[in-house]
Amino acid sequence: MTPRIRRRAVDVRGDWPDDVPPLLRRVYAARGVDDPALARPKLAQLLPPDSLGGLETAVALLSDAIERGARILVVGDFDADGATACALAVRGLRMLGARDVVHAVPNRMVHGYGLSPALVEELAPLTPDLLVTVDHGVACLAGVAAAKARGWRVLVTDHHLPGEVLPPADAIVNPNLRGDAFACKALAGVGVIFYVLLALRRQQRDAGAFAGDVPDLSSLLDLVAVGTVADLVPLDATNRALIAAGLRRLRAGQGCAGLQALIEVSGRTAATLTAADIAFAVAPRLNAAGRLEDMSLGIECLLSDDPPHARELAGQLHRINAERRGVQQTMVDEAEAALAAVPAPAGGDATVAVCLFHPGWHAGVVGLVASKLKERLHRPVVAFAPSEPGGNQLRGSARSIAGLHIRDALAAVDALHPGLVGRFGGHAMAAGLTLERDRFAAFERAFCDVVRSMLDPTLLQAELLSDGELAPGEFDRRHADALRDGGPWGQGFPEPLFDGVFDVSEWRLVGERHLKLVLRGPGAAGPFNAIQFGGWSGEPPPGRCRIAFRLAPDDWRGPRAIQLVVEHREPA
């Protein structure tokens, strides 16, 4: 799918301080922000926890367990959001006086997603008084029921969309429950448990529980930042405030030992760390443990306070991630080969969605395969692998494009074809499901029919939204630094992208697939160093190109250097 470049509409308003360059004001305006306070939200602007449903009961459960010295079991999830949420809950509860806090996480290949009856049975020897789920639980009806049957109290903290029936927990805190009054619906799982801890601390402070200094929960914001960025939730003002505060800690070298080690092993510089560095370098190494092995390794890394031990664990995660990348590339190659062998639809109809299955694929990596194919094809993609080698149950990961709520699409399939899909859940852009192997073809037909009925066909044309051209005087380090530090950028608040026509003065291949370019802009402006990752198509670039690019600092070449990071290139 060749994307079409479309420039954003811009209407700059507001009274901006002098330290915000006009270029950055234009970028903010294109994202609907005309208030400087919303462009760079601070922690002081965070929504208070009060309107978050279930909070009073949740705080009472936690406070009672802490006062009695009862055992609290935190059960995380096997992705980066779940791992950071688990580490944050353990650290935060201990800071607030809990003396007996243990944690666990399901193994993707053994237990499947979330709190299951099998996992509850395995955790029974821990004999908790209170079980707290983080980043899951709202869809775990059977698992919560199994925990309650053992006499455990259960607090569910989650952010996923609920089904028609809620689990029989003692309390549920989830801003996405129907009727919940909390204004921010975009919190990640780690953000939800952070808010629960804020409310618990307030209750304890009001009750006079702290003889000395009040515990500083802002020390946990490094974990909130990483989990929020990794989970690709929309970066509204609340999430941007949380991420920005966490980034400040990480840049100042105040992050936990595990995150500092992961930054180091990923080859990033903590002092200039960005949300993109978290998304493309730190989070994948943390996620790799849950995809190929056991996320308990990642959680151990995040809970370590010993830098040498944290570096050892980060090194293991780095090696697992390298293995994950090899598995992923093999699976993507197999997926593309399978697609190439499929004849084009009859009658000229466009394929609206893609469903793929391979008996040799790894269930922990199918989500990454779906993401890669979604980016290349600009179609909703569901990729399946056996839940266990040779098994009859498939585990699928779905990724969507703008305009199709993928979890709602799965719900529509389930409503139209009861019993076809097993368990499912997720968000607007990503979801997971289970399916019996012999029902794959039926699911493919049903899913494509639902997508066809729900998705505006004009949205099947991929677009790159550009912030327009840069003026000659804006190709400098001052503006590159302002753009880097003007974020955090991410889902729903995209990193600035510009476009223009350039002459290609020089080019060379770097590695096997990357292009290094020297470009000259309008009026012979430049030369500008540029790089296009994965840009080698087997043919030299034309002498004149229209490119979509990001303006970035180039710290390798010096404190005043910049480079253009090319996202798309086409003949001019």
Do the domains 47-318 and 342-460 sit in the same CATH topology, yes or no?
no
Options 3.90.1640.30, 3.20.10.10, 3.40.140.10, 2.60.40.420; CATH for 47-318 is: 3.90.1640.30
- In this prediction, residue 343 carries a pLDDT of 65
The residue to which tokens 């009862």 are assigned: 70
Asked if residue 204 lies in contact with residue 196, where contact means CB atoms within 8 angstroms, the answer is no
- In this prediction, residue 525 carries a pLDDT of 78
Residue 181 CB neighbours (<10 A): 9
Q: What does the alpha-carbon distance between residue 400 and residue 405 come to, in Å, rounded to a whole number?
A: 7
- In this prediction, residue 348 carries a pLDDT of 44
Straight-line distance from the first to the last Cα atom of the chain, in angstroms, rounded to the nearest whole number: 18
Q: What does the alpha-carbon distance between residue 161 and residue 224 come to, in Å, rounded to a whole number?
A: 20
* Side chain identity at residue 127, one-letter code: T
Strand partners, 73: 102, 131
The DSSP secondary-structure symbol of 220 reads G
Q: Where are the domains of the chain?
A: 47-318, 342-460, 466-571
The residue to which tokens 């694929």 are assigned: 361
Q: Tell whether the torsion through CA atoms of 497, 431, 435 and 462 is positive or negative.
A: negative
The first and second tokens of residue 497, run together, are 């992208």
List per-block mean pLDDT (blocks of 10 residues) for the chain, which spans 572 residues: 90 89 95 90 93 96 97 95 98 97 89 90 97 96 97 97 93 96 96 98 94 94 97 93 97 97 96 95 93 90 97 96 93 90 58 93 92 92 91 93 93 95 87 94 96 94 94 94 94 95 94 92 83 90 95 90 95 90
Q: Strand 72-75 relative to strand 130-134: parallel, antiparallel, unpaired? A: parallel
Asked if residue 301 lies in contact with residue 310, where contact means CB atoms within 8 angstroms, the answer is yes
Options 2.40.50.460, 2.50.20.10, 1.10.3720.10, 3.30.70.1230; CATH for 466-571 is: 2.40.50.460
- Please state the separation of Cα 162 from the chain's center in Å: 19
Residue 453 CB neighbours (<10 A): 11
For the chain, what is the radius of gyration of the CA atoms? 24
* Side chain identity at residue 270, one-letter code: A
Options 3.60.21.10, 3.40.50.970, 3.10.310.30, 3.20.20.140; CATH for 342-460 is: 3.10.310.30
Q: What does the alpha-carbon distance between residue 185 and residue 140 come to, in Å, rounded to a whole number?
A: 20
**Distances from the Cα of 126 to the Cα of 65, 105, 120, angstroms:** 15, 13, 10
Q: What does the alpha-carbon distance between residue 371 and residue 536 come to, in Å, rounded to a whole number?
A: 21
Q: What does the alpha-carbon distance between residue 187 and residue 328 come to, in Å, rounded to a whole number?
A: 29
